A and B are shown apart, each in its own frame.
Chain A
Amino acid sequence: MTYTAEMLESIKVVEATRAQRIGQVFPTMSLEERQKLLNSFHPDYLTEGMREIRVGCCKGMRMPLELAKVIEGRPHVSEDFDLSQPEYESDILVIGGGGAGASAALLAQENGAKVILATKLRFGDANTMMAQGGIQAADRPNDSPAIHYLDVIGGGHFANFPDLVEALVKDAPLVIDWLESLGVMFDKYPDGTMMEEHGGGTSRKRMHSARDYSGAEIMRVLRDEVRNRPDIDVMEFSPAVELVLDDKGSVCGAILMNLETGHYFYVKTKVVVIATGGSGRLHYQGFPTTNHYGATGDGIVLAYRAGAELVFLDTMQYHPTGAAYPEQILGQLVTEKVRGLGAQPVNIKGEQFVYPLEPRDVEAAAFIRECKERHLGIVTPGGQPAVWLDTPMIDLINGAGTIEKALPAMFRQYRRFNIDMTKQPILVYPTLHYQNGGVKIDANCHTSVPGLLVAGETSGGVHGRNRLMGNSLLDVCVFGRRAGRTAAALCKEITHGKPTLEHVSAWNRQLDSVGINGALRSPILLPDYARKG
């Protein structure tokens, strides 16, 4: 499982230009150039990949075909489901066991609430666990939350909701401090100064990392802490399939499903926090994804059916550097930190063709243009187009051993397939990575439905139309914590009426009225990868 003869020939060209490329800075694009490139080559701008949804409070909103189909699905349960005997009761139900869910559970518990954290797979099986590159926070003297603010909102094409961006950048150093107080090991110099790098679209070095296991380190610490708190019950293999509302339209729990037995049961709570993550496993436009197995957009489906407004769901993030070869790891993440440490994207002529750290959508579109329009990419035996990412530059620039020390996960991943990324470049192409939009929230995670809070990738607004690297680990911690605090405060004041599933019948009537007769039940919970027959 090494490179083909054709690839090895191409590598020689890349090697030949390497010495002269070191130190050579490819110019960044103007805002106009960025927009022109996006219009022509970014998957979000491909009109046939999108359609309007036909039901619900955001009827007419455009989103990817695959997501629209799931949103317009039939509920798992009907209105006559017996709600008189909840199997569990608590103050707060957190749905989702990633970074946002864990943060929400911790802060809710600290603020006096009893919490059930329910998750579809194992606690910690989440995109948070897979985030490699790092977490942004403006904590160095030459940086400030205001500079971070500008980077975030420019990267998001100025569409971001200002209150959310303010919360993100202002809480960021507090989150780093909080994570350290829980025992997260950030990369530091011996005097305690944080090692911080650039990410795409940053104007200051503010990417904190934990080798290239940044998300894994954060997730395993948060998970360990949740398990240490007696007032948080964790229910694994228990996805939510429907929210329950009371007769005043306020959320008072959810129907969960035992994923292994198929048994549905009611968990009655005063407040629900949805933190189910994104939807990469819907494979928009057929793209491979970096996302974990459970990323099927469940939270959006649940919240929307209960009446929550959505926002920016016509924009998905394609990470520029997904693994394009070998086929076994197709679509898996090659962290942006690889470019942050100096590796340049290079075409088959051994030339740079884009500034290595443009915002992700721009960088991805440039890779697609290089392959599809200029035909200066490689095509793998599996038919996958790709460009080179010149990883050996990292050790040349930063000293021998840097890759093994700073990127152990990447190094290990390629070595498993007999590719030594310290000596040979790797092949990359954009891969579906992140859901930029989601359920509309305010700075304290309220949605348009009373009693329903949303945090993390399921929410939308903070990243506008494009998220920068290192702002999703930050997002899950900032808004997870805020959701937990808000939830604990809310449950002290809420009194619920009678629980009902009337909205389920209303939803079915809406589907009927516009002629949607498909049998697809949503949330779909798992992607269907089993070969049939």
Chain B
Amino acid sequence: MAEAYELVPIYIMGKRYEVPSSLTIMKAMEWAGYTLIRGVGCRGGFCGACSTVYRIKDDPKLYFGLACQTVVKPEMYLGQIPFFPAKRASYDINELEAKATTLFQVYPEILRCLGCGTCTKACPQELNVKGYMAAAMRGDIESLANMSFDCIMCGLCAARCPAEEPQYNIAILARRLYGKYLAPRSAHLAQRVSEIQQGAFDAELTELKNLDSNALKERYVARTIEP
């Protein structure tokens, strides 16, 4: 088959390949013949498995991206960070309290943060990682939880951090503390849970389960739709 696409040179972990210019880094690696095991996951920008560091020839700057979401560039030198051994604390969420000292007790290294912003530059989600680490140092769980919400836990922040912070693991601790202890409670949910536990819907569900197909269809068609 005629190859009607433009080819560009890229360097996958140091080795040169020519690949179609329209491909993402991930598809370019497969085009080059790789069968991926590490460094590939959801292929849709959600799982953080395909963290990639790259540099363009003659440009000293390092760039960061997800292999599944980043289109190749000519003369790109790329390497993948499919696993990074950042610290992850183990804890019992039920034993913790949602207060500043909890963050510092579980992750004392928070206070080592230099505020240099290298993490922010590395984040493929363009999160303000330095900003949420500042919230962590203030013990502001709510800000930390909200600012870090779109984190996909790829680990590039930790890989680049000169103070050896596990930013993304600190952030999930804060989000869990917020979700469990600080977020406003939902009265309608509590009410429904209690109704279900008391069997309030059992008879109605049993009746529906025993309806024949025509009767069930009638009920379905007759149901009102909330605007």
Q: A154-B220, A210-B149 are in contact. List 7 more A-B contacts (CB 8 A).
A: A1-B71, A125-B49, A145-B196, A215-B46, A217-B149, A227-B90, A412-B125
**Stretch of A68-76, A134-142, A343-351 lying at the B interface:** A134-142
B221 interface residue, CB < 8 Å from A?
yes
Looking at B23-31, B54-62, B128-136, the stretch in contact with chain A turns out to be B23-31
Bound-complex Cα distance A38 to B224 (A): 24
| B41 x A216 contact (CB < 8 A) | no
Nearest CB of B to A153, in Å: 7
Which of B152, B204, B220 is the most central at the interface, judged by chain A CB atoms within 10 Å of its CB? B220
Q: Does B216 contact A (CB under 8 A)?
A: yes
Q: Is the CB of B184 within 8 A of A188?
A: yes
List residues of B (159-206) whose CB comes within 8 Å of A's CBs: 172, 175-180, 183-193, 196, 201, 204-205
- The stretch that binds B, out of A171-179, A385-393, A395-403, is A171-179
A413 to chain B, nearest CB (A): 6
Contact across chains for A183 and B176 when beta carbons are under 8 A apart: yes
- 1/0 contact string of A192-212 vs chain B (CB within 8 Å): 111000100001110000110
Interface centre among B33, B44, B191 (most CB of A within 10 A): B44
Contact B49 A193 (CB under 8 A): no
Contact status B189-A173, CB under 8 Å = yes
Q: Is the CB of A146 within 8 A of B205?
A: yes
Nearest residue in B to A529 (C-beta to C-beta)?
A: B30
Residue B16 at the chain A interface, CB threshold 8 Å: no
Residues 88 to 129 of chain B near chain A (Cβ within 8 Å) = 88, 90-93, 125-126
How many residue pairs at the A-B interface have CB separations less than 8 Å?
A: 217
A220 neighbours in B (Cβ, 8 Å): 153, 172
- Tell whether B42 is near chain A: CB-to-CB under 8 Å: yes
Evaluate contact between B178 and A183: CB separation under 8 angstroms: yes
Asked if A275 is at the interface (CB within 8 A of a chain B CB), the reply is no
- Does the CB pair A177–B193 fall under 8 Å? yes
Q: Which of A31, A165, A220, A329 has the most chain B CB within a 10 Å cutoff? A: A220
Partner of A177, one of B69, B177, B189, B204: B189
Residues in B whose Cβ lies below 8 Å from that of A141: 188, 191
A192/B92 contact (C-beta < 8 A), A121-B41, A142-B226, A145-B196 known:
no
A341 smallest CB distance to B (angstroms):
15
Sort A-B residue pairs by CB-CB distance and give the 9 closest, nearest first: A183-B176, A192-B184, A125-B41, A154-B220, A183-B179, A162-B209, A185-B179, A183-B180, A139-B192
Min Cβ gap A211→B in Å is 7
A153 and B205 alpha carbons, distance in the complex (Å): 12
* Candidate in B70, B175, B224 with the most chain A CB atoms within 10 angstroms: B175
Chain A interface residues (CB < 8 Å from chain B): 1, 31, 121-122, 124-127, 129-130, 138-142, 144-147, 149-151, 153-154, 158, 162-163, 165-166, 169-170, 173-174, 176-177, 180-186, 188, 190-194, 198, 203-205, 210-211, 213, 215-217, 220-221, 224-225, 227-228, 230, 237, 259-260, 290, 292-293, 327-329, 332-333, 408-409, 412-413, 416, 526, 528-532
8 contacts between A and B (CB under 8 A): A121-B40, A139-B189, A154-B220, A193-B187, A205-B226, A329-B69, A413-B45, A531-B31
Q: Kindly report which residue of chain B lies nearest to residue A120, judged by CB atoms.
A: B37
Give, as a whole number of angstroms, the nearest-CB distance from A319 to chain B: 12
CB of B60 to closest CB in A, whole Å: 24
Are A194 and B188 in contact (CB-based, < 8 A)? yes
Q: How far is the CA of A247 from the CA of B90 in the complex (A)?
A: 41
* Chain B residue with Cβ nearest A155: B220
B188, A149: Cβ atoms closer than 8 Å = no
Across-interface contacts of B188 in A (CB, < 8 A): 139-141, 193-194
Q: Are B33 and A532 in contact (CB under 8 A)?
A: yes
Interface presence of B47 (CB below 8 A): yes
Decide: A530 and B42 in contact? CB cutoff 8 A: no
| Min CB–CB distance B41 → chain A (angstroms) | 4
Known: A150-B219, A177-B193. A224 touches B172 (CB 8 A): yes
Cβ distance B160 to chain A, nearest Cβ, rounded Å: 20
- Contact present for A185 and B226 (CB under 8 Å): no
Tell me, yes or no, whether B43 is within 8 Å of chain A by CB.
Answer: yes
Give B159 Cβ to nearest chain A Cβ, in Å: 16
In the bound complex, how far is the Cα of B43 from the Cα of A126, in angstroms?
10
* Contact A528 B201, beta carbon cutoff 8 Å: no
How long is the Cα–Cα vector from A406 to B47 in the complex, in angstroms?
19
Interchain CB contact under 8 A, B196 and A174: yes
B179 touches A221 (CB 8 A): yes
Collect the chain B residues with CB atoms within 8 Å of residue A329's CB. Answer: 44, 69
Chain B proximity of A168: nearest CB distance (Å) = 11
Residues of A within 8 A of B92 (CB): 228
A145, B199: Cα distance in complex, Å: 11
Question: Chain B: which residue is nearest A228 at the CB level?
Answer: B90
Residues of B within 8 A of A144 (CB): 201, 204
Which A residue's beta carbon lies closest to that of B31? A531
Interface bits B63-96 vs A (CB < 8 Å: 1, else 0): 0000001110000000000000000101111000
- Interchain nearest-CB distance for A210 vs B (Å): 8
Tell me the complex Cα distance, A177–B189, Å: 7
B185's nearest neighbour on chain A, judged by CB, is A192
Residue of A nearest to B168 (CB): A220
State whether A227 touches B208 (Cβ < 8 A). no
B126 / chain A contacts, CB cutoff of 8 Å: 412
CB nearest neighbor in A for B201: A145
CB distance from A189 to the nearest CB of B (A): 8
Measured between alpha carbons, how far is A430 from B180 in the docked complex, in Å?
37
A146 touches B46 (CB 8 A): no
On whether the beta carbons of B40 and A293 are closer than 8 Å, the reply is: yes
Q: Take A177-B189, A182-B180, A203-B224 as given contacts and tell me if A292 and B205 are in contact as well, using a CB distance cutoff of 8 Å.
A: no
